[in-house]
Amino acid sequence: MAKQYVDMNTPVIEMRNIVKKFGDFTANDGINLTVHKGEIHAILGENGAGKSTLMNQLYGLLKPTSGDILVNGKKIEMNNPRDAIAAGIGMVHQHFMLVQPFTVTENIVLGTEPTKGVSLDMATARKNVVEISERYGLSIDPDAKIEDISVGMQQRVEILKALYRGADILILDEPTSSLTPQEIVELIDIMHNLVKDGKSIIIITHKLKEIKESADFCTIIRLGRYIGTVDVDTVTESDLASMMVGRNVTFKVDKPEQTPGEVVLDVQDLHCLDYRGIEIVRGLDLQVRRGEIVGIAGIDGNGQTELVEVITGLRKGTSGKVLVNGVDVFNKSPNFGFKHGVSSIPADRQKHGLVLDFSIEDNLILQNYGKEPYSQKNILQRDPIFAHATESIEKYDIRPGNSEKRPAGTLSGGNQQKVIIAREVQNDKDLLIAVNPTRGLDVGAIEYVHKYIVDQRNKGKAVLLVSFELDEIMSLSDIIDVIFDGKIVASLPGKGADENELGLMMAGGGKKHE
Amino acid sequence: MSKKKGFLEFVAGNRFIHILLSILLGFLVGAIFLAIMGLSVGEAYGRLITSVTSLKGFSYVIVYSIPYIVVGLSVAFSFKTGVFNIGAEGQFVMGSMAAAVVGILAGGLPKIVLIPLCFLAAMLAGAIWGVIVGFLKTKWGINEVLSMIMFNWVAFYLSNFIAGIPAIHSDGTAEATKNISDNASTLLSKDLINSLGLCPTANWGILVAIAVTVLVWFIIEKTTLGYELKAVGSNKFAAEYGGINVNRSILTALAISGALAGLGGSLQLMGMGSRISVFSSQEGFGFAGIVVALIGCSNPFGVLIAGIFYGALTFGGSKLNLVGAPTQLINVIVGTVVFFIAISIIFQRLRYIRKPAKPKAPAPDKKANGKEAAEK
C-alpha cells in the first residue's frame, strides 16, 4: 500500500499510555496508538491480547484506568458510545448487534429513523439504505429479515450501519472474518474509497494477508502489552506473525499421504429449501471417506449452509439420502445423527455451539452429560466433569486458564471456538463436520485448529470442511468439491489446486444469494 | 476479553445487594405514601414488625408463606428452564381442587394414605394443566404465555363448577365445597397448638415446603435432567445441536413446574382453607409466586426466604388497619420492590454482552426472545 491518502500531519486519534485493569488483571498495559487522517491502521494481536478492550475504550464502552485519548487533537473523555459517535467514531463489532426479527433497513436506521410527522418514514429509510449500499458497493436486500440472511450478509448490514451514521473514524472489529474471498476484495476496495474521502479506519484483524493488502500501519499488542507500531510496507507476514505470538509460526499444515478407506458420509440426490421456501440444494451428491478431508468451496449462499444443516439434523430436506456408515440420518434428529457418528463444529458458535450462560465445564459435556463418568444414575458427577474441563483447557490451550467454572459467554471468540473443538474432537465420532472453523481466530489459534482437524483425518476419521477461506480449503483438503447453485459442480484433488481456477468454478454462472 | 473472576463475583454480590436495596426502596415508597396520608410511618411500620415477631404472629407468617414458597419454586423452576410459567395460578387452583375432591370423596381413608394421595392428585392436576399448555406450544407453536393466561380462567371456572357438583358442594348454605376430611388435614393437633401458643391454622406444610426447596435445588443443580432443562432454557439451539430433545424438555419443565404449583394448592387447602369457596375473582397465588421467584432470584433457597418475607408482608399488612393505615399499602411496597428488582435484572442480563449494545439498540436478550418467538 502506498500511503497516498495518509496525512501524517493530522492525527485524528491519539491514545497515550492506555492502562486498563479489571480487578487485579491488566488487560491493557501502556498502549500507544496514533491514527492519522486517511489512514488504515491495523491492530494485531492474539485472541485475548487486549485488542477489543483497547477499542472498547476508544468507543466509550470502557473507561481507561489511566492514560489519555485525544480525538482530532483534543483530549476527550468518553462515558458511553454516544460520546464516541458524537466525536465521529463508528464501530462494527465482531459479534453482530442486530435485531433479528427486523429487516435490513430497519436495523440500519435504528436509532436514527427518518420520520414523517410522528410516524416512521420507512420508504425514505429504505431509499437511503439502498443509496448508501450502492455508494459503497455493498449490495443487500433491504427488505430481508436479519434472521433469514447469512452471517456474511449480516456483517454487511453491520458495516452499512456504521457508514449510515457517517462516522469519520471507523473501527472494524474482525470485519472480514465471515466474508467470502470476493467480498473481502470488495471490502478492501470500500476501505480504500473511504480513506480517499478523508476518513480513517482502524481494523482489528488476525489476518496477516489482509493487513499487508489493506493497512498502512500496524500496531501489535501481545498479552496486553504494546509491542510496537510498524510500517506495513517494511515487514513481511511472518515478521508480523512472530511479533504477535512472540515465537516463530509455521503456516504449513503437515499432512502425511494416506489412502482413504471406506465411505463414511454418502449424500445422495439431496434436495432442500431455504428460508424463503426456494430450493437451494438441488440434487446434491457427496461422499467423504475415512481418512480424508473433503473441502466444500463455494460462495456463501450456494447451499453449503443448508447442506450442513440437513446432515446435522437441524433442517428438514425435501428428498434424498444422507447415509452415515450406511445408516440414513436424513430428516432425523440431531441426536440420532450424533449417535450414529456425526459430530460438528457449527458455523454460528454462539447460537449453535455453546450455551453461553453455562460454564466451560458444562459446555464441554453438552452431548455427554448423560454418560459415565460425567453422571451416574442421572446425577451429575462434578469431580469428573471438572477434571475433564481442566484437561481440555490444558490440552486445547483455552484461555484464560483455570476457567472451568466461568460462563462460556465471558471468553473471547477464539477461545469459545477452542471449547467447541475440544468437545467435538473428543467426541471422537467417525464424521467431523467443520463449518468455518477458524472464523475470527488468530494465526496461533488457527494453527491449533488445523492441527486438530488434520489429526482427525490421520486417525482415520472422515472430515467434511466447509469454509469461505479458500486458503484454508486448499491447504487442508484432500479433495475439493466446488458447490454452486445447490450442486457439486466439480471435484478435484486438493493437492495442486489452483486458486484462480477454483474461484472461477465457484462463480459458475455468478448467481449470488441476495 | 478477559474479565476476570473478580468482576463476576462483584456482579453476583451486587445481585443480593440489589434485592436488599429494592426492598428498602419499597418500604421507603410505602413510607412516602403513609406520610402523604398523614399517618405515622413509625407507628405503621412498628405495627408491621410487632405483628410478625411474636410467636403466634410468626406462626401465622409461616402458615401464610407455605403456598407462596411452593408456588414461588414452581415459577423459579420455570425461569431456570426458560419457560415463563404465568399459568401457576391455574395450576394452583387445579391442584387445590383435585386435593379437595380426593379429600372429600375418599375421606374415609387413613391419614397416612389420604394425605399423600391428596398431594399426588394435586401434583398430577397441576402437571396436566402445565403439560397441556406445553403441548400446544411444542405441537403448534402457540405462545405459552397467552394460553396459560387463558388456562388460568379455565381453571377458575372449572373449579367453581366442580364446587357446585352436589357430591362436592357444601351441605350448608355456604357457596363452597364441603370441608375436606380431617384425615386429609395437615393441621397440628389442637393440644400442641394451644400448649405452644401458635396460630389456630398452624400446620406442618412448611416441612413439605422445605423438602421441596431442597428437591428443586437438587434437580436443578445436580441432575442430568436439570442440566438438560437449563441448557434448553438458556440456548435451545445449542441444546438441540448438542442432541437434547428440546420439545420433550419444555414439556418436562412445564410438568414439573405445574406439579409444584398444584402441590402449593393442596398445601394451602389442607393446612389452611379446608374447603374451596366459589371464587368471584382469581386468588392470585400464582401471581404472588412470580413475585416470590423474582425476589428469590429464582434460587430455591432464595425463594424459601422470599416466600417467608412475602408471607410476613401479607400477614403483617392485614394488621395495618389497626393503626388506620390501608392494607393496600402492602401492594404498594411489593409493587415497588418488584419494579426495582426487574430493573436490576435488566442490568444483570447485560452481563454476558461483552461489548454492550450501542445506544438505542435493544438488549440482545430481547433479540434472542424475538428470534424464538419468530421461530415458532
In a domain, B42, yes or no: no
A429: burial class by Cβ within 10 Å (0-12, 13-18, 19+)? buried
A44 and A134 inside one domain: yes
Chain B, 333-352: which have a CB under 8 Å from a chain A CB? 352
Q: State whether A355 and B231 contact (CB < 8 Å).
A: yes
Q: Convert the pLDDT of each residue in B17-40 to its tens digit.
A: 778 888 888 999 999 998 998 888
In a domain, B48, yes or no: no
**Pairing relationship of beta strands A217-222 and A225-231 according to DSSP bridges:** antiparallel
Question: Which strand (E) or helix (H) includes residue A207?
Answer: none
Same-domain status, B171 and B27: no
In a domain, A413, yes or no: no
Residue B104 C-alpha, separation from nearest chain A C-alpha, in angstroms: 38
Q: Do B315 and B346 lie in a common domain?
A: no
pLDDT of B141 higher than 80: yes
Q: How far is residue A434's CA from residue A343's CA, in Å, rounded to a whole number?
A: 9
Choosing from B297, B319, B341, the residue where a domain stops is B319
Q: Say whether both A184 and A318 belong to one domain.
A: no
State the total domains in chain B: 2
CA distances from residue A40 to A35, A36, A139, A194, A221 in whole angstroms, order as listed: 8, 8, 23, 10, 17
Judge whether A396 lies within some domain. Answer: no
Domain final position from B300, B319, B338: B319
User: Confidence class of residue A502 from pLDDT cuts 50, 70 and 90?
Assistant: confident
Residue at which a domain ends, from A245, A264, A282: A245
Among A50, A51, A53, residue whose Cα is nearest residue A64: A53
Does residue A236 sit in the same domain as residue A263? no
With beta carbons under 8 A apart, name residues in chain B contacting A355: 230-231, 234-235, 238-239
Instruction: Compute, in degrees rounded to 10, the torsion defined by CA atoms A309, A315, A316, A317.
Output: -40
Residue of B nearest to A333 (CA): B243
- The answer to whether position A303 is within a domain reads yes
Q: How far is the CA of B272 from the CAs of A179, A329, A391, in angstroms?
A: 65, 56, 54
Q: What is the side-by-side strand order in the sheet with A293-297?
A: A342-345, A431-435, A462-466, A293-297, A479-484, A487-493
**Cβ-based contacts under 8 A for chains A and B:** 148
Question: pLDDT (tens digit, 9 = 90+) per residue, A304-354?
Answer: 989 999 999 889 999 999 999 999 999 998 889 988 999 999 888 888 899
What is the pLDDT, as a whole number, of residue B167?
A: 86
Same domain, B280 and B340: no
The whole-number pLDDT of residue B345 equals 67
Is A19 or A506 the better-scoring residue by pLDDT? A19
Domain assignment of residue A229, yes or no? yes
- Read off the pLDDT band of B364 (50, 70, 90): very low
In a domain, B54, yes or no: no
A60 and A129 both lie in a single domain: yes
Choosing from A245, A280, A304, the residue where a domain stops is: A245
Task: Look at B238 and A99 and tell me if their CB atoms are within 8 Å.
Answer: no
Structural domain for B33, as ranges: 1-37+326-376
Whether the pTM exceeds 0.80: the reply is no
Higher pLDDT, B373 or A161: A161
Q: Does one domain contain both A19 and A144? A: yes
Residue A11 shares a structural domain with residue A129: yes
Using a CB-CB cut-off of 8 Å, the residues of chain B touching A369 are: 224, 227-228
Find residues 231-260 of chain B whose CB sits inside 8 Å of chain A: 231, 234-235, 237-245
- According to the model, what pLDDT value does residue B374 have? 38
- Claim to verify: residue B223 and residue B74 sit in the same structural domain: yes
In a domain, A363, yes or no: no
How do residues A110-157 score in pLDDT, each as one tens digit? Answer: 877 888 877 888 888 899 889 888 877 677 889 999 888 877 678 778
CATH number of the domain within which B302 lies: 1.10.3470
- Count Cα neighbours of A497 within 13 Å in the Cβ-side half-sphere: 26
Of B8, B224, B238, the CB nearest to A352: B238
CATH number at residue A117: 3.40.50.300
Q: Please give the Cα distance from A173 to A96 (Å, whole number).
A: 10
Domain tally for chain A? 2
Which of A167, A60, A138, A146 lies closest to B364 in space, CA to CA? A146
Residues A131 and A214 in one domain: yes
Residue B298 and residue B149 share a domain: yes
Q: Are the Cβ atoms of A379 and B371 closer than 8 angstroms? A: no
Among A87-91, A100-104, A370-374, B16-20, the range scoring the smallest mean pLDDT is B16-20
Residues A163 and A292 in one domain: no
Same domain, A107 and A164: yes
The cell for B77 is 423452576
Q: At what angle do helices A499-507 and A181-196 cross, to 10 degrees?
A: 90
Band (B6; pLDDT cuts 50, 70, 90): low
Q: What is the pLDDT of residue A417?
A: 87
- Contact (Cβ atoms closer than 8 angstroms) between residue A146 and residue A107: yes
Asked if B154 and B213 sit in the same domain, the reply is yes
Burial class (CB in 10 A: 0-12, 13-18, 19+), B195: exposed
pLDDT value at residue A2: 56
Is B306 part of any domain?
A: yes
> Mean pLDDT, chain B, as a whole number?
85
B214 and B360 both lie in a single domain: no
Q: Is the peptide bond before A373 cis (omega within 30 degrees of 0)?
A: yes
Residues A28 and A113 in one domain: yes
Find out whether B321 and B300 touch, Cβ atoms under 8 Å.
no
- Final residue before a domain boundary, out of A216, A245, A274: A245
Instruction: State the DSSP H helix or E strand holding residue A43, giving kind and residue range, or none if neither.
Output: strand A40-44
B355–A380 CB contact, under 8 Å: no
In this structure, how many other beta carbons lie within 10 angstroms of the beta carbon of residue A348? 17
3-state DSSP assignment of residue A311: helix
Q: Are B239 and A355 within 8 A, CB to CB?
A: yes
**Is A67 part of a structural domain of the chain?**
yes
Q: Are the beta carbons of A22 and B4 separated by less than 8 Å?
A: yes
Q: How far apart are the first and last CA of chain A?
A: 32
Task: Look at residue A61 and tell me if it is in a domain.
Answer: yes
Which of A193-197, A264-268, A368-372 is the most confident on average? A264-268
Set of chain A residues whose Cβ sits within 8 Å of the Cβ of B230: 355, 357-358
Could you give the ipTM of this predicted complex? 0.73
Residue A69 one-letter amino acid: I
pLDDT given for residue B243 in this prediction: 82
Domain membership of residue A305 as a residue range: 250-341+462-514
Q: CB-CB: which of B222, B237, B244 is closest to A352?
A: B237
The verdict on A241 and A256 lying in the same domain is no
Query: Based on the domain organization, do A277 and A330 belong to the same domain?
Result: yes
For residue B151, being part of any structural domain is answered with yes
| DSSP, res B178 | P
* Contact between chains at B8 and A410 (C-beta distance less than 8 A): yes
Q: Is residue A349 part of a domain?
A: no
Contact A353 B358 (CB under 8 A): no
Of all residues in chain A, the one with the smallest CA distance to B233 is A355
pLDDT digits (tens, 9 = 90+) for A431-442: 999 998 887 777
The partner residue sitting opposite A314, judged by closest CB among B226, B240, B359, is B240
**Does B120 share its domain with B260?**
yes
